């Protein structure tokens, strides 16, 4: 009996990704792939495109979208659904799962004449709680990794067809994606891949199940030359069609003609690499060492189901910035849901959906938490939704709650233009400072974290993962590459969170000669006031919102005051070290861009202009201050290699409190004319 090849590809670009990046992805991957596949109508396959990406491609590449339509109508191609803006379904409320899935299914039906019966799970994150929403929206089956089944105790030899699971009596079928196929296609030579499929047929396998990122066909390093210029995809398709031991089908066709292998209950998990990425650096290093030892001992394949690492939601506990963004999104979702239905509109729903896009909430080889433009897209949409909600259901001007569930209260100050959140954690710094007019969060930065992969930085360029000529190409998981020159010290982790108005104080000319973190603030009696004390001194720090500005007053008193107080502002701006970001002094002169270091004495006003922001941020100090500005960069790893990414402008303002005068620092948001 021939083995049935169920071949599926998943195409996605993050909400907010650069147009040039999307164009390049289409030119090198999506379009090339479709042009090859349309030449072989008898090769049946399945596709999933995220809804946001489909919208972009229909505008920019209508001819290739016509190819998709033609292949759908002739029965060659099946569409898989999912959430419209590619959320991790398990991380959003049930009500939003329904609207996200329905939005994409409606879009596919309207454009291609097919309503999906299958769904792609973002990052293959499985939690059984998503079953009711999938089924309620017409989904009958999903594809998850065979690893999920192994973790449930299933025999790998039987993972050649679909199984059935249920949640609260609601049933959904599950196809196990073959890890062996994911690592072979398209990295091993086409003839070897076809021979492997034929061996499965000889062993009596019902189906070979493949569903993975289409970006492996042209975008991953070396794959464009390999897949298209050297003809891997054409050779593979023709080899499959020429083989009497292989037949192709869509998941829908196969599902209609076969019966389930039986009931299964999967644990909460994702693909095996993701489970390692979710772990904090020390635990990830220990986990990686364990995996390496098991492989060296020849036990890994047998023990793999029991070496599970973490789960996707761990990213919320690993990265407070992701957690804050996520909990703010959940709060906005609740506010939208609480509106009377007559006040809802499609634009609000679309903003919520886009704010739930998965990419900016996690980090790994492909996750985008470290990419400021992806986080910014989430905040743009979240704040646009809140701007629309504000006149319909105004929030209180001052409120407090532990919004991110970290055991510390956040005090929210709001007016009709600005939002500022102060965390009661000893620093009393802003964790968010947002403009509703500009739909921008100036506090959207990321501290430097220790990451397990930073250990690879010490490897020489000559130690990059290689491969023998003619033996295929290296997967991105195995490569070590450097986009920028990076030294180990560049990846040193921050010892303190990155916020706005973080103080240090001390006597730099005295013993020790350094400033110490001022992190012992406690809430004062007046709203927005915070107090820190020391031997013979007291500092009160008070926040206030006024129309288009936020002011912070520092009142210092006592006989033992430190000689110097310094406050640090970590400000996220769209241009960062791009051409559009620059400092402008009070006299109109431009001393440099955000990517440059800057030092000024007696500063009382400086403006941060940003062409992408559609506005500017002006900083004023009532008492002259010494200014030091520098870029804050982190070191991260993507499929292309290690890179430095500018996360924020770090501005330190220092002054002496000895004069007895209060210092007032004002941040004023100035929209473009």
Kindly provide the residue ranges of all beta strands, DSSP E only, lying in 168-283, ordered along the sequence.
170-177, 207-213, 246-249
Give the per-residue pLDDT at 221. 87
Interval 253-285: pLDDT, tens = 999 999 999 999 999 999 888 999 999 989 998
Q: Which fold has domain 490-671?
A: Beta-galactosidase; Chain A, domain 5 (2.70.98)
Give the per-residue pLDDT at 483. 59
Of 430, 431, 373, nearest to 580 (Cα)?
Answer: 373
Give the per-residue pLDDT at 366. 74
- Window from 177-181, 339-343, 486-490 with minimum mean pLDDT: 486-490
Cβ contacts of residue 82 below 8 Å, gap of 6+? 48, 50, 89, 100, 101, 104, 119, 120, 121, 122
- The Cα 62–Cα 56 span in angstroms is 10
- Two tokens, residue 496: 């303190």
Interval 523-563: pLDDT, tens = 998 888 999 998 889 999 999 999 999 999 999 999 889 99
Residue spans of the domains in the chain: they are: 3-271, 279-312, 315-394, 490-671
Interval 355-407: pLDDT, tens = 999 999 999 887 789 999 999 999 999 999 999 999 999 999 999 999 999 99
Specify whether 167 is catalytic.
no
Q: What is 3-271's CATH number?
A: 3.20.110.20
- Nearest 5°: phi and psi at 336? -65, -40
Confidence grade of residue 132 (pLDDT, cut at 50, 70, 90) = very high
Specify whether 276 is catalytic.
no
- Catalytic member of 96, 123, 127, 198: 123
Judge whether 8 and 251 are in contact, CB under 8 Å.
yes
- Catalytic member of 213, 238, 406, 662: 213
Q: How far is C-alpha 248 from the chain's CA centre?
A: 34
In this predicted structure, the answer to whether residue 468 has a pLDDT above a threshold of 80 is: no
- The Cα 140–Cα 604 span in angstroms is 63
Q: What is the mean pLDDT of residues 551-579?
A: 93
- The Cα 649–Cα 268 span in angstroms is 39
Interval 292-338: pLDDT, tens = 999 999 999 899 899 889 999 999 999 999 999 999 999 999 999 99
DSSP sequence for 290-354 = HHHHHHHTT-HHHHGGG-----TTHHHHH-HHHHHHHHHHHHHHHHHHHS-GGG--HHHHHHHHH
Of 507, 510, 508, 535, nearest to 520 (Cα)?
Answer: 535
Of 207, 197, 133, nearest to 175 (Cα)?
Answer: 207
Calculate the average pLDDT of the chain: 93
Q: What is the mean pLDDT of residues 141-160?
A: 95
- The Cα 17–Cα 485 span in angstroms is 25
Interval 215-261: pLDDT, tens = 999 999 899 999 999 999 999 999 999 999 999 999 999 999 999 99
Judge whether 146 and 156 are in contact, CB under 8 Å.
yes
Give the per-residue pLDDT at 479. 46
- The Cα 375–Cα 616 span in angstroms is 19
Q: What is the mean pLDDT of residues 603-615?
A: 95
Residues 325, 279, 306, 291, CA torsion sign: positive
């Amino acid at each position: 009996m021939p083995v049935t090849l169920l071949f599926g590809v998943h195409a996605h670009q993050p909400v907010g990704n650069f147009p040039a990046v999307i164009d390049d992805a289409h030119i090198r991957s999506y379009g090339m792939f479709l042009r090859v596949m349309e030449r072989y109508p008898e090769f049946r396959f399945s596709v999933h495109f995220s809804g946001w990406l489909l919208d972009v491609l229909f505008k920019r590449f209508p001819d290739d979208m016509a190819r998709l339509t033609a292949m759908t109508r002739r029965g060659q191609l099946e569409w898989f659904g999912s959430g419209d803006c590619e959320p991790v379904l398990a991380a959003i409320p049930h009500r939003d799962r329904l609207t996200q899935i329905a939005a994409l299914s409606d879009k596919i039906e309207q454009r291609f004449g097919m309503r999906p019966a299958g769904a792609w799970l973002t990052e293959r994150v499985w939690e059984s709680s998503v079953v009711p929403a999938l089924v309620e929206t017409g989904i009958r089956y999903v594809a998850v990794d065979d690893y999920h089944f192994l973790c449930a105790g299933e025999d790998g030899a039987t993972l050649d067809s679909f199984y059935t699971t249920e949640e609260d009596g609601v049933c959904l079928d599950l196809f196990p994606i073959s890890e062996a196929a994911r690592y072979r296609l398209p990295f091993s030579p086409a003839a070897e891949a076809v021979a492997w499929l034929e061996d499965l047929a000889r062993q009596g396998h019902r189906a070979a199940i493949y569903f993975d990122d289409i970006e492996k066909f042209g975008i991953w390093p070396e794959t464009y030359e390999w897949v298209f210029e050297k003809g891997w995809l054409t050779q593979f398709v023709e080899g499959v069609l020429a083989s009497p031991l292989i037949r192709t089908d869509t998941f829908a066709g196969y599902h209609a003609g076969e019966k389930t292998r039986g009931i299964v209950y999967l644990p909460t998990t994702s693909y095996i690499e993701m489970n390692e990425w979710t772990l904090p650096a020390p635990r990830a290093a220990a986990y990686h060492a364990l995996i390496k030892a098991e492989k060296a001992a020849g036990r890994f394949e047998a023990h793999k189901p029991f070496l599970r690492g973490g789960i996707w939601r761990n990213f919320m506990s690993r990265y407070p910035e992701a957690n804050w963004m996520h909990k703010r999104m959940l709060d906005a979702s609740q506010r939208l849901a609480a509106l009377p239905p007559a006040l809802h509109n499609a634009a609000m729903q679309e903003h919520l959906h886009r704010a739930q896009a998965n990419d900016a909430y996690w980090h790994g080889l492909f996750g985008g938490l470290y990419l400021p433009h992806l986080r910014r897209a989430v905040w743009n949409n979240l704040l646009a939704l809140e701007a629309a909600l504000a006149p319909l259901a105004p929030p209180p001007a001052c409120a407090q709650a532990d919004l991110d569930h970290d055991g510390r209260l956040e005090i929210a100050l709001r007016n009709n233009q600005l939002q500022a959140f102060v965390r009661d954690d000893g620093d009393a710094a802003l964790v968010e400072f947002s403009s509703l007019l500009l739909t921008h969060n100036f506090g959207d930065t990321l501290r430097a974290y220790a990451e397990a992969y930073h250990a690879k930085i010490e490897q020489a360029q000559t130690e990059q993962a290689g491969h023998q000529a003619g033996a295929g190409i290296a997967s991105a998981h195995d490569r070590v590459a450097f986009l920028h020159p990076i030294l180990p010290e560049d990846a040193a982790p921050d010892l303190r969170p990155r916020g706005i108005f973080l103080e240090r104080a001390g006597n730099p000319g005295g013993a020790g000669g350094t400033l110490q973190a001022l992190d012992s603030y406690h809430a004062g009696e007046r709203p927005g006031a915070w107090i820190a004390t020391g031997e013979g001194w007291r500092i009160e720090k008070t926040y206030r919102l006024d129309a288009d500005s936020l002011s912070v007053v520092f009142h210092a008193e006592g006989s033992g005051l430190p000689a110097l107080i310094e406050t640090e502002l970590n400000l996220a701006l769209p241009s960062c070290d791009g051409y559009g970001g620059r400092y402008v002094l009070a006299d109109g002169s431009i001393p440099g861009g955000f990517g440059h270091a800057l030092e000024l004495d007696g500063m009382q006003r400086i403006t941060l202009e940003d062409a992408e922001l559609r506005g500017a941020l002006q900083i004023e100090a009532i008492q002259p201050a010494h200014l030091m500005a520098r870029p804050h960069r982190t070191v991260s790893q993507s499929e292309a290699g290690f890179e430095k990414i500018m996360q924020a402008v770090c501005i330190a303002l220092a002054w002496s409190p000895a004069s007895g005068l209060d210092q007032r620092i004002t941040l004023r948001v100035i929209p473009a004319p």
